[in-house]
Amino acid sequence: MSRISIILPVLNEQAGIVACLQALQPLRGQNCELIVVDGLSCDGTVALAKPLADRVIAGPKGRAAQMNAGARQASGDILWFLHADSLPPPDAGSSIRAALEKTDRCWGRFDVRLSGRQLSLRMVEFSMNRRSRWTGIATGDQGIFVRRSLFEQIGGYPPIALMEDIALSRLLKRYGWPVCLRQRLQTSSRRWERDGVARTILSMWGLRLAYFFGADPDKLARIYYRS
């Protein structure tokens, strides 16, 4: 059975880190290791994470840099990158193994479900999952997993401040289309609920279009996190 390394980049996540890590505990008994990579949090994230993870390491701030740091410390044959506000399906480990071991694919992702109950969020989910199947581009919210050998071959996540998931997907697509699992990984809808669905869609697509046309990811990150 292939070993899976779950890599979780965090920054000031004390409000939700325990719930996230507790949901991952059953996987630790299924030949999965759990690595938390802290980006210099100034709250209680690290202290809360240590009893619930196999390893908590410090990495430079920024998701791409943190995930690459976690991958370097990983012992698994498969790397699975999760966000701290995501909750995986209970059979996630076996689903990932089956997706990569019973097919000729080298990477993949889950369908996403937003945590809120509004009907508009169901439409957003549908669009995100369908678009990913059409384009072969996965987002971090969808829990990207990849064979470690391929991840190392392409050099890991590109060292950019935003759009690292899109950049990684483009690199991975050169070696094959992703497995798009229909099991749903639940992620927080707090941004959608706080800013509104229409405004969030416009903001995200504006950033993506800017990135597509060559905008500096550092500048896009400042816009994204300022909003």
Query: pLDDT tens-digit profile of 35-45?
Result: 999 999 999 99
Domains belonging to the chain, first-starting first, are: 4-191 (3.90.550.10)
Query: pLDDT tens-digit profile of 170-198?
Result: 999 999 999 999 999 999 998 888 889 89
Model confidence at 225, in pLDDT bands (50, 70, 90)? confident
Query: pLDDT tens-digit profile of 97-156?
Result: 999 988 889 999 999 999 999 999 999 999 999 999 999 999 999 999 999 999 999 999
Query: What's the pLDDT at 208?
Result: 87
Which residues, including other chains, have CB under 8 Å from residue 12's CB and lie 6 or more apart?
41, 42, 43, 45
Neighbours of 3 (CB within 10 A): 15
Residues 8 and 55: their CA atoms lie apart, in Å, by: 11
Specify the 3-state DSSP secondary structure of 7. Answer: strand
Neighbour order of strands in the sheet with 78-81: 55-58, 32-38, 4-10, 78-81, 145-147, 107-114, 179-187, 86-87
Q: Over 90: is that where the pLDDT of 18 sits?
A: yes
Query: What's the pLDDT at 101?
Result: 87
Residues 164 and 174: their CA atoms lie apart, in Å, by: 16
Tell me the whole-structure pTM to 2 decimals. Answer: 0.94
Residues 69 and 58: their CA atoms lie apart, in Å, by: 8
The mean pLDDT value for 37-62 works out to 95
Query: What's the pLDDT at 227?
Result: 60
Q: Worst-scoring range by mean pLDDT, 4-13, 80-89, 112-121, 210-219?
A: 210-219
